[in-house]
Structure 1
Amino acid sequence: MPSYVRQAGRRAVATVPLSNAYTGRANSFGFLRLCFAVAVVLAHTAVIGYARPLTEVVDVAGLGVAGFFGISGFLITRSARRSSLPRYLWHRALRIWPGLWVCLLFIGLVVAPAVWYADRGHLDGLWRHPSGVINFLQANWWGGYRQQGIVSVFRDTPYGELVRRSVLDGSLWTLSYEITCYLIVAALAVVGVLRRVRWLVLAAGVVVFGLLCWNQYAMLRSGGAPVWTSGSLGPLPLLGGLSKIWFLRFGFMFLVGAVAELYSDKLPISDLLGALSLVLVGWQTLEGHLFGPALLAYEYAILYLAVRLPRLLHRVGQTNDYSYGVYIYSFVVQQTLAWLGLAAWGFVGYFALTMVFTGILAFLSWHLVEKPALRLKDWTPRLPRRTATAPADARAEDRAAGPEPARVPLDATTGRG
């Protein structure tokens, strides 16, 4: 047997812990996030422009969103373990809300008025209607997509005709699930689970995996979902209701990512396991069964690709991360282009136009909003200084306490959704 064949075989079965394979910025998470965002845009191109799914079998948009949650689970848990609770919450707020707020203002104060005026020649009835601009901003300001449309804006687009209502930015519906996952991680950090009782997170992952297997079995056997996966949770304050089945699916991806981070010193990464996971994911995706037990293989495939893809891809998203902007702006761009009749350019032309205008908005969002906001991640409120007339015994206590401990370096990762 040739030596290069033996070397390839040894490399394929060789394993290394994820904690050794993943080092700082030497990963492809940024590239994968951008791929997932483009996958969502591609899937929405068919349904928004032509009122039909991209494919009858594969949920491409769901595949992309689940990938976002898988990456977030790993990176967000890593951040929570390395930061204090206020710092963790501050980082998450900076990553989600500034970009979202500007996007909502752009929709409510630019897109909706422009479309309304072009259709009617006036702006009467747009602002304080029960489903008008003011209520749209109030309902969606904190991440819950509780009002999808503004009066009848985009009601006559192909997608509007399909769902029979106004929908301006349908992609925002997943943000409430992501924020909920952030808050769950915060709660686990507060009670010390992430640092001292990590096996509870693993046990939770096993339980949710069992529920997904049970749901998959019930769907294949009777064609209907069990009662515990039907309906919604909530409504939660500011976020609204969460679909039980999607909370289980997205939450599982987030949870497995969290388990991978907590047990990164024990999780083996190898080319053989990576290839098997990719084959399993591809097979189950084409069979239409990805959103069940195969999600476990999907998470492993994401982690494997993140540490095994070529180093050239490590640079994508490290300095400038446009994936969030692509995700939150693409839907409204596609609706606008469809309203202008540009879907008539054909699928490829319509998708290309979408990517051009979405790319411009994502670029502006990152450089003018998101990146400046993230520069505030190390900001700390100034505490009132002691006056010079402080009691002598208090000054003595300060001296006895010794020097201020060194600040622990903050996690540089900013994993999104």
Structure 2
Amino acid sequence: MIRLFLAILVVYEHTAPLGGYKVNLDLFRKSIGAWAVYIFFGISGYLITASSFSNSVPQYLIKRIARIFTAYLAIQFVTAFIFGPLVTLLNGDSIAKLWETPVTPIGYFWGNYLLAIKSWRIGSTLSTNPYPKAWNGSTWTIWNEFLCYIIIVIVVSLIIKYKKIYIPIMAFLWLGLSFLSSRLPELIKAGGNSLIDVKLFIPLFSVFMAGSLLYSLKNTCGLIYSVESFH
């Protein structure tokens, strides 16, 4: 229910350009939608770390890939081959012209099927839309979340034999990421646009690691959370 509520907050903020209203709910210079994404990643860090400890690496990867790609590819397919042509017709254009544009439905789907978004639009389907920049703008977080999944299983696999130092290592990684996150403006300025993905990823991975660290401390803190639905 918590993650559903967070998702609703993100949807609320993302629909502002379409609905013609403004979201004036900022906290510490971050919008309510941004905070919802951060909290979502923190919860995911807790749950995914639990899953990585409870499954073998192959089982973990199969479950994570199936969970991410099934819904993601379905969304991209429906967007490319149903919504794209439908909007083209509603705009009074011929579907045949859609296949002559720089980004066709196939190009959109093929460019995005590996999670990292390369094509945000399909032809000129969004030309009359209040927000013409992207069909599925919020999907940029999916690639970052999947990277978190991969990194955490590597970390857990490497140090699972050394449980006594697991928590200090996780704490060190989290503190390091938090420091990098605070220095991002300087890093971006020094590195130019080449670090734009890092700019997006490090803050998200920092809160993901915070959730992972919280799971590591759960026995000490007396926290109990059922992860049966993720097994």
Interval containing the TM-score (normalised by the shorter chain): 0.7 to 0.9
Tell me which amino acid in the other structure corresponds to 1:201.
M
Once the two structures are superposed, residues 82-128 of structure 1 have per-residue CA deviations (whole angstroms, 9 ceiling, x without a partner) of: 11111000110111111111111111111110111222342123236
Gaps of 5+ in 2: none
| 1:81 Cα offset (Å) | 0.9
The residue that corresponds to 1:414 in the other structure is 230
Query: Is 1:249 the equivalent of 2:190?
Result: no
After TM superposition, list the pairs within 5 Å mapping 1:108-123 onto structure 2.
108-123=80-95
AA in 1 matched with 2:171:
L
Given the alignment of the two structures, is residue 175 of structure 1 paired with residue 142 of structure 2, yes or no?
yes
Deviation of the 1:193 alpha carbon: 4.8
Q: Name the counterpart of 2:213.
A: 259
Partner of 1:185: 152
Identity %: 23
Question: Does the 8 Å CA contact 2:26/2:32 hold for their aligned counterparts?
Answer: no
Instruction: Say if 1:128 and 1:137 are closer, same or farther in 2 by CA, change over 3 A.
Output: farther
Given that 2:16 and 2:23 are in contact with CA atoms closer than 8 Å, whether structure 1 keeps it comes out as yes
2:97 aligned residue: 125
Displacement of 1:189 in angstroms is 3.0
1:227 aligns with 2:187: yes
The secondary structure found in structure 2 opposite 1:182 is helix
RMSD: 2.6
**Which residue does the alignment assign to 2:70?**
98
TM-score (norm 1): 0.50
In our comparison, the structure showing a higher alpha carbon Rg is 1
Aligned amino acid, residue 188 of structure 1? V
Residues in 2 aligned to 1:88 and 1:149: alpha-carbon distance in whole angstroms: 33
Task: Give secondary structure in 1 for the equivalent of 2:96.
Answer: coil
Structure with the greater relative contact order (CA < 8 A, sep ≥ 6): 1 or 2? Answer: 1
Aligned equivalents of 1:142, 1:68: Cα separation in 2: 22
In structure 1, give the amino acid aligned to 2:178. Answer: F
Q: CA deviation at 1:130?
A: 2.7
Greater helix fraction, Structure 1 or Structure 2: 2
> Using the alignment, how far apart are the partners of 1:203 and 1:116 within structure 2?
52
CA distance in 1, matches of 2:75, 2:48: 23
Aligned to 1:28: none
Paired residue for 2:2?
32
Residue 17 of structure 2 aligns with which residue? 47
Q: TM-score w.r.t. structure 2 length?
A: 0.86
| Deviation >6 Å, runs of 4+ | none
Q: Any idea what the Cα deviations from partners look like across 1:239-289, whole Å, max 9, x if unmatched?
A: xxx6323212111110000111112122367xxxxxxxxxxxxxxxxxxxx
Within the candidate set 181, 206, 211, 1:212 is matched to 181
**Contact 1:188–1:194 (8 Å) recurs in 2:** no
Gaps of 5+ in 1: 1-30, 216-224, 235-241, 270-305, 308-317, 319-410
The CA distance in 1 between the partners of 2:149 and 2:194, in whole Å, is: 17
Q: 1:344-383 to 2 correspondence within 5 Å?
A: none
- Partners of 1:127 and 1:195 lie apart in 2 by 56
- Partner amino acid for 1:412? E
Pairs aligned (count): 225
